[in-house]
Structure 1
């Protein structure tokens, strides 16, 4: 048995409409100041719409001159509150940050750089801003680089539960002894697509929202918040301030509907029960609940019902909604509301629900209407819920009210199922058949920028095509052929995908979700699992890069010329967690539900998180992976420019690690892996494809000032070393290394240098492969596609060669250039994101491995 570490909160940072510092925020809360008022930015579009807006530009201490203009608000606000929290904790610039993790929760990041194109402000468009803030995950890359946090990052993208979920992940990393500290941030500026979506769903209140009473409706808001989480003994040893202690967390999925909560409140009740069980607490221990409390009819009724199901004496427990002060801050809502509790509960005061009028039917609890209630709370609960039925619950205690460490028996984790969708086919058998036949899977694709005519804003694809400066910027991304764009891509026949699926709602299935569902079904079937009996204890963790691009495009187009007529269906379906939502509803998966939008190789982050959930016995099983789609548009070209990518038009194929050829082929598809406890899999006679022995994470921290054309790979090597240490192995125990680099010069050099550094003292060269050449670069799912071929090599004692590459970059590594017969007992899978995050996973041979 292992003791879990105690996790305390030692730093706070906040930015809201009622305070840009913790002191201002506390004073506003205690004076019952409401920050919801007629919008200063959107009233001209949506009429007299109310919002909780940050109207004054914050001060960004320590930011280099000229950098502010190149960053978006999501990154700037995250940096501001993150730095404030580190200053508050006494950790800014501390060497300990080199092993600390960063977890950021967002709903709509990576948007601002492209807003001038959408809002017809073309002269305001900045290539520099797209390079630094032009991807969904760039907020993590920026903050980790500016604050020099090198222990690895995660970007949680579960909409309205994102920052609450981020707190839970940071807590878990510390209590399971992976990191001693974690900086957790939620950041959410308010942009046109977000407010237009809620407006068209008819959920916005005409005035300040009145949760659980009066006229239903929510108030939209924006802001950011940050917490420093720290291992208890580490914090006390350095005399850090302690604001509270995180006791437990949990997530769950309703598997019910894309936007509406389950009216039976089963998922919301389940997440509270699971969190209580994880913290070895009883309902009677909870003395206050800070609720989600959006003010909408369905949320308030469902949330009230859920609490009645969990707490027998719920009428004696005060519950209140902080959204009555600051509106719904979407991705940053949970962390800001959590901070509000930490700032006011020590005063012996429970925050009221402001604007409270006549309670609505079925809303009959103690909502602390309008006035503070005096009570000395020791343990409180923080709940948030999101589109897609994503539920999250945190349990925390005020200083001096912590609980003894809980204990757990670490499980061995097996991979028992793999599901694949690629240009070469579906499933491992079909893909191996295509590889043996020499099937390429790639084709030269061209598309012509669309022409919308004179209505609405100038189409940005036309604008890019006619803009010489941008054509120069994209010279490596396109071959000009009249007004056509050309790329060599690996595309999936999505009609064939649909024929392979069993039962799913075709009306709600976009391409990327369909890919993910088919891969998930394959993995479950491959494992011989029965989701009907294990759905409540199965986690679904999805890694995302660019997400549902086609749906995002349709939604953005629907905002023109009148944002009040935006398509209601495309709004929730354009969110990063929409793919997980579709899969959970289709398969009835109701366990932990998280989307990690880390960018390239995001499935590795999903894999590591799912492994931890199973290893600690929090979930019995985990379905993890990623999915990607190719969407031919100028916006996609802009996003690729952010990553410094240069697509390859070579007919001979995608040549990874080639000395004479750089560039990549765009790929699409999905990869999902089913993981479960090794003992349980053995008991039911499940196939053991491989075993996860350990993993490591790190971050380069050089995103802002990445002037080194030959990246050292130092931090990737550190992730490899951490993974080997956790697995109890040395470099001499590894029989095969699989990289997932995407073919550019910098990607190749970083990955190869990192592997060279890690294995420099090995007694003999280690065989090295990278199979992205078979599939194209499938941005988030590439690790699972590579994983499948590695596990097959372990099973068959035969290693497939790296495809297409003729002349390898270095002679210091043993690249597998032809098929090799070799017994592979342990393998290492490595990968990085375009923002400098690094992962390493050690794999063990499946049955009859002991």
Structure 2
């Protein structure tokens, strides 16, 4: 039975729901609430002080904005024994935001499936990562609470917020360094506009830790004095904290009788494709993100009343950013940086600066920058606010954030009822679907997709046991000989796997991605680059933290592999990294389906080390009903495009992705044994594809992990397909091992390998549950089924 819904095969207008901010919560060392934050900003107070939570005496700068005591946040004493400190920051901010929005945690009841969570963080979990690293280095891993290993995940903070709130909709964690939470608010707004949610809990959290300070010290970016963005002299101070905003559809807010605080108008992302840590000196990437945000909101530069700059205080950032603002807005743009108040809060920067900007604008002010005395040489001369808040009418506001890996994010908001309903840019749905025009894989099976397909047919496990008796399936070592790839020879193995897979996926279309704002790259990651992380932690905890390795520090961010891949191929469109490849794939598909990008590549890569094997087995993450599974490595990349666009340029479409979804259960860890989240994902994906359960001719399942995962998948299949679900037609985990970041994407590639055979069914579903708790379902269809 094939999809006969041929009436969908056209672009159709998409309803655009307006997105309101109905609650805000902020927690920083400067202030414990939004009200006290406004008071501090207005009074010109800062929270930058000598670090006391660890010894910072040998660093170039000893100043930061830190909590000396972690807030209780309403979580239990048992939670405090194993959770990362960023989690407590986020939950505390959540309670304030929900109270202001008139929402009760855990009380969504029947509406919980329409409540999503989208948070951003750069280094959430890093404090617990340090604890795990020290346990490994001191040969004490066996004594470590396994839950602490789970708390090292950047996404764990999001999982706890989801559980405390009682949300059952889509759950997304963005980790694009310092652009994370700004991007999270934009992505969260899209979930409402796309009809995926009525309420989104958005924002982010981040922490100050010894390894973070050591890393910025190694890059010589720290200031020995309090930072003064755009002014004399250069240097940054690190900060920590969390911010949460409640995003809500106008329909939902009106139904609940809630008074909105602001409206999210649009956002834009871009990639620099320039350097791992330094921004493009011209500010081209920053400029593109700002212009993308303006276009998404259907606004002109002159309509923006105030720009909250990223303004880290460093030479490279301040110069490039200010020159970009000059080109977009001209010299009269009103701007300042709030990092002079509470430091650079890394992945939490965007949401905290958004909340601060809204708080000031509500009262008729734009915030000033502290210690702004004179414009630093190299920075554009703009209308910087100095000395005191500026009184005036500041209705339409832009917040900018840029991060390592060249990830740029710009967000546009306005105060309520500033713009008419017609100001929001109408959009269209690519109802003819999204197709895959290229695929690339690197695995234990080899460096080609054909080799993977052959290995899946053979069904022979490629893992080998090492001296520790743990099995792993390793990929061939890569040596780049082409001139354009030689600069990446010293990258992490996972970055090189990713670059090789992406090169194969792009093929002859590489020129379509090269510095094209309509072509982007979305990455999925769980742990990032393991070997550089281990090397960096060794330099911090087995050596002198003041002499930490500057080469490895940029590689410990979750988006480092994506940054390397974007740089290798000049990808400057929408670029960001999500925790887990299931969420990354679904977001990439959304970007294409709703026309934000013409084409997107999605990439996930992993690498195996002996220490990582030990860590996974200590956490129990590789046990399948008591039987240990093999850990795998490699990379998988898919090139996605609107079917109509591919047809217009006569590109060969390999398969069609006709439906997709991902949800989570209300748990801190894993999935519920009742299979609810996966069942909802299967139903949603089938609905998106216009199919019935008996249209699915085969399954590729991911049920690796602790025993509840396998039980959850089995029960979801029963709920969705009855007593006799479709047969399992491929098992990539059994062949190439379990890849933490890429496993969901590998199931889609395996489904492609089956669908592309001449004797295959028309529709194969890839489904399962991954390490970060995503229950996902993706329908992979023959292209002939849509002709």
Q: State if a TM-score over 0.5 links the two structures.
A: yes
Secondary structure, aligned partner of 1:410 = strand
The aligned counterpart of 1:699 is 664
Q: 1:339 aligns with which of 352, 355, 360?
A: 355
Tell me the alpha carbon deviations over residues 477-505 of structure 1, each in whole angstroms, 9 at most, x when there is no partner.
xxxxxxxx22111111114x646997341
The aligned counterpart of 2:492 is 510
Secondary structure, aligned partner of 1:256 = coil
Alignment gaps of 5+ in structure 2: 1-12
Q: CA deviation at 1:131?
A: 5.0
Whole-Å Cα distance in 1 between the matches of residues 668 and 51 of structure 2? 35
Spell out the pairing of 1:410-429 with structure 2 (5 A cutoff). 410-411=429-430, 412-429=433-450
Residue 689 of structure 2 corresponds to residue 712 of structure 1:
no
Q: CA deviation at 1:636?
A: 4.7
* C-alpha contact 2:184 2:203 (8 A) present in aligned 1: yes
Tell me the alpha carbon deviations over residues 436-492 of structure 1, each in whole angstroms, 9 at most, x when there is no partner.
56654221112xxxxxxxxxxxxxxxxxxxxxxxxxxxxxxxxxxxxxx22111111
Spell out the pairing of 1:401-416 with structure 2 (5 A cutoff). 401-404=418-421, 405-411=424-430, 412-416=433-437
Whole-Å Cα distance in 2 between the matches of residues 435 and 118 of structure 1? 36
Q: 1:407 to 1:695 in 2, by over 3 A?
A: same
Whole-Å Cα distance in 2 between the matches of residues 60 and 39 of structure 1? 23
Whole-Å Cα distance in 2 between the matches of residues 47 and 292 of structure 1? 22
Q: 2:721 aligns with which of 746, 752, 759?
A: 759
Residue 771 of structure 2 corresponds to residue 837 of structure 1:
no
Whole-Å Cα distance in 2 between the matches of residues 353 and 7 of structure 1? 29
Q: CA deviation at 1:72?
A: 1.5
The aligned counterpart of 2:232 is 214
Whole-Å Cα distance in 2 between the matches of residues 661 and 639 of structure 1? 14
Secondary structure, aligned partner of 2:596 = coil
Q: 2:471 aligns with which of 453, 478, 488?
A: 488
Whole-Å Cα distance in 2 between the matches of residues 257 and 131 of structure 1? 31
Residue 650 of structure 2 corresponds to residue 681 of structure 1:
no
The aligned counterpart of 2:417 is 400
Q: CA deviation at 1:511?
A: 0.5
Residue 615 of structure 2 corresponds to residue 638 of structure 1:
yes
* C-alpha contact 2:60 2:222 (8 A) present in aligned 1: no
Give the alignment's TM-score, normalised by structure 2.
0.92
Alignment gaps of 5+ in structure 1: 447-484, 647-655, 799-822
Q: CA deviation at 1:245?
A: 0.4
Q: CA deviation at 1:359?
A: 1.6
Whole-Å Cα distance in 2 between the matches of residues 589 and 52 of structure 1? 35
The aligned counterpart of 2:3 is none
The aligned counterpart of 1:94 is 108
Whole-Å Cα distance in 2 between the matches of residues 272 and 351 of structure 1? 20
Secondary structure, aligned partner of 1:505 = helix
Tell me the alpha carbon deviations over residues 672-697 of structure 1, each in whole angstroms, 9 at most, x when there is no partner.
00001111111222111111222222
Secondary structure, aligned partner of 1:186 = strand
Tell me the alpha carbon deviations over residues 768-824 of structure 1, each in whole angstroms, 9 at most, x when there is no partner.
3433211111122123332223223222244xxxxxxxxxxxxxxxxxxxxxxxx42
Whole-Å Cα distance in 1 between the matches of residues 513 and 632 of structure 2? 33
Q: CA deviation at 1:52?
A: 1.1
Whole-Å Cα distance in 2 between the matches of residues 766 and 827 of structure 1? 9
Q: CA deviation at 1:36?
A: 1.1
The aligned counterpart of 1:443 is 464
Whole-Å Cα distance in 2 between the matches of residues 638 and 434 of structure 1? 28
Whole-Å Cα distance in 2 between the matches of residues 625 and 119 of structure 1? 31
* C-alpha contact 1:741 1:831 (8 A) present in aligned 2: yes
Q: 1:278 aligns with which of 290, 296, 305?
A: 296
Whole-Å Cα distance in 1 between the matches of residues 657 and 711 of structure 2? 27
Spell out the pairing of 1:311-710 with structure 2 (5 A cutoff). 311=329, 314-363=330-379, 364-404=381-421, 405-411=424-430, 412-435=433-456, 440-446=461-467, 485-495=468-478, 498=480, 503-525=485-507, 528-531=509-512, 535-559=516-540, 560-597=542-579, 602-633=580-611, 636-646=613-623, 662-703=627-668
Tell me the alpha carbon deviations over residues 388-424 of structure 1, each in whole angstroms, 9 at most, x when there is no partner.
2111000100112144243112112111111111101
Give the alignment's TM-score, normalised by structure 1.
0.86
* C-alpha contact 2:121 2:175 (8 A) present in aligned 1: yes
Q: 1:757 to 1:37 in 2, by over 3 A?
A: same
The aligned counterpart of 2:171 is 153
Secondary structure, aligned partner of 1:768 = coil
Spell out the pairing of 1:55-94 with structure 2 (5 A cutoff). 55-61=68-74, 63-92=75-104, 93-94=107-108
Whole-Å Cα distance in 2 between the matches of residues 759 and 439 of structure 1? 28
* C-alpha contact 1:134 1:639 (8 A) present in aligned 2: no
The aligned counterpart of 2:5 is none
Q: 1:424 to 1:118 in 2, by over 3 A?
A: closer
* C-alpha contact 1:101 1:149 (8 A) present in aligned 2: yes
Q: 1:119 to 1:643 in 2, by over 3 A?
A: closer
Whole-Å Cα distance in 2 between the matches of residues 293 and 46 of structure 1? 22
Whole-Å Cα distance in 1 between the matches of residues 232 and 510 of structure 2? 47
Secondary structure, aligned partner of 2:429 = coil
Q: 1:788 to 1:213 in 2, by over 3 A?
A: same
Q: CA deviation at 1:841?
A: 1.7
Residue 310 of structure 2 corresponds to residue 295 of structure 1:
no
Q: CA deviation at 1:750?
A: 1.2
Secondary structure, aligned partner of 1:196 = helix
* C-alpha contact 1:15 1:77 (8 A) present in aligned 2: yes
Q: 1:749 aligns with which of 704, 707, 711?
A: 711
Residue 69 of structure 2 corresponds to residue 51 of structure 1:
no
Whole-Å Cα distance in 2 between the matches of residues 5 and 663 of structure 1? 47
Whole-Å Cα distance in 2 between the matches of residues 847 and 537 of structure 1? 27
Whole-Å Cα distance in 2 between the matches of residues 705 and 510 of structure 1? 28
Secondary structure, aligned partner of 2:517 = helix
Whole-Å Cα distance in 2 between the matches of residues 704 and 584 of structure 1? 32
Whole-Å Cα distance in 2 between the matches of residues 298 and 498 of structure 1? 30
* C-alpha contact 1:152 1:838 (8 A) present in aligned 2: no
Whole-Å Cα distance in 1 between the matches of residues 46 and 224 of structure 2? 15
Q: CA deviation at 1:204?
A: 1.1
* C-alpha contact 1:149 1:701 (8 A) present in aligned 2: yes
Whole-Å Cα distance in 2 between the matches of residues 175 and 754 of structure 1? 28
Secondary structure, aligned partner of 1:43 = coil
* C-alpha contact 1:134 1:642 (8 A) present in aligned 2: no
* C-alpha contact 1:425 1:434 (8 A) present in aligned 2: no
- Aligned residues between the structures: 761
The aligned counterpart of 1:774 is 735
Tell me the alpha carbon deviations over residues 23-53 of structure 1, each in whole angstroms, 9 at most, x when there is no partner.
1111111111111122223434437611111
Q: CA deviation at 1:644?
A: 3.6
Secondary structure, aligned partner of 1:409 = strand
Tell me the alpha carbon deviations over residues 752-780 of structure 1, each in whole angstroms, 9 at most, x when there is no partner.
1111111128xx64223433211111122
Q: 2:210 aligns with which of 177, 192, 215?
A: 192
Residue 735 of structure 2 corresponds to residue 793 of structure 1:
no
Secondary structure, aligned partner of 2:341 = helix
* C-alpha contact 2:121 2:154 (8 A) present in aligned 1: no
* C-alpha contact 1:504 1:586 (8 A) present in aligned 2: no
